[in-house]
């Protein structure tokens, strides 16, 4: 397999907007059984659950790393369930988050994925989801804290670090 063009779906269509590799696997285990009474015009492909859950031999869309060298597998290589981040990965992600990154764009996701890939199997969408979830859940936490906040006018313990060096070259700051 020399230079073979992968599916067009990977490259050609999303070239304008940065996109990331997303797997074509991992579908919900719920019954793929549609109500067959309706005529689904497009042939709903028979969902081969097993083949989807085993992406190893499946066709990759993009971002296929040259080698996967799973022979040694430092990590669990969970056999095709959901991503289970390692401690290093989490650490880096949290660092990025604390650094101000909230919704990285495709370029950033690509790079992050590449970096985190050194510590374990990971895909771009994992990074994407992680930021989504982390952001949302941090907000939840904060809100919860705010609700029960009418007790001590001053936050005990945590002195809100106002020593922020305000000016920073964070261009990736979309929200806030």
Report the distance separating Cα 97 and Cα 103, nearest Å: 9
The one segment of 39-47, 58-66, 111-119, 167-175 that binds DNA by CB under 7 A: 167-175
Residues 50-89 that bind DNA (CB under 7 A): 76, 78, 81-85
Number of alpha carbons in the 13 Å side-chain half-sphere of residue 151 = 7
Closest approach of a second copy to the CB of residue 82, in Å: 11
The nearer residue to DNA, 65 or 133, going by C-beta atoms, is 133
Report the distance separating Cα 168 and Cα 138, nearest Å: 22
Question: Tokens for 165?
Answer: 């060096």
Residue 3 site contact among DNA, a second copy, none (CB < 5 to 8 Å, cut-off depends on kind) = DNA
Closest approach of a second copy to the CB of residue 62, in Å: 9
Residue pair 48/156 in contact (Cβ under 8 Å)? The answer is: no
Residue 113 interacting with DNA (CB under 7 A): no
The nearer residue to DNA, 19 or 96, going by C-beta atoms, is 19
Q: How far is CA 46 from CA 16, 158, 161, in A?
A: 32, 55, 55
Report the distance separating Cα 11 and Cα 61, nearest Å: 9
Length of the chain in terms of residues written: 176
Over the window 121 to 160, marking each residue x when it contacts DNA by CB under 7 A and - when it does not, the resulting string is ----xx--xx-xxxxxx-x---------------------
Residue 134 site contact among a second copy, DNA, none (CB < 5 to 8 Å, cut-off depends on kind) = DNA
């Amino acid at each position: 397999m020399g230079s073979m063009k992968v599916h067009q779906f990977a490259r050609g269509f999303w070239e304008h907007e940065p996109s990331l590799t997303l797997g074509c696997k991992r579908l919900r285990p719920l019954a793929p059984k549609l109500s067959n009474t309706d005529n689904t015009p497009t042939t709903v492909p028979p969902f081969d659950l097993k083949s989807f859950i085993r992406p190893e031999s499946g066709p990759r869309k993009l971002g296929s790393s040259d080698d996967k060298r799973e022979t040694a597998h430092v990590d669990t290589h969970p056999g095709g369930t959901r991503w289970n981040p390692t401690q290093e990965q989490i650490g880096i992600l949290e660092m990025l988050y604390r650094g101000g990154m909230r919704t990285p764009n495709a370029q950033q996701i690509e790079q992050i994925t590449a970096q985190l890939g050194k510590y374990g199997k990971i895909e771009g969408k994992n990074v994407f989801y992680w930021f989504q979830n982390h952001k949302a859940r941090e907000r939840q936490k904060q809100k919860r804290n705010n609700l029960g906040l009418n007790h001590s006018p001053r936050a005990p313990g945590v002195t809100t670090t106002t020593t922020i060096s305000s000016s920073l070259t964070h261009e990736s700051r979309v929200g806030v």
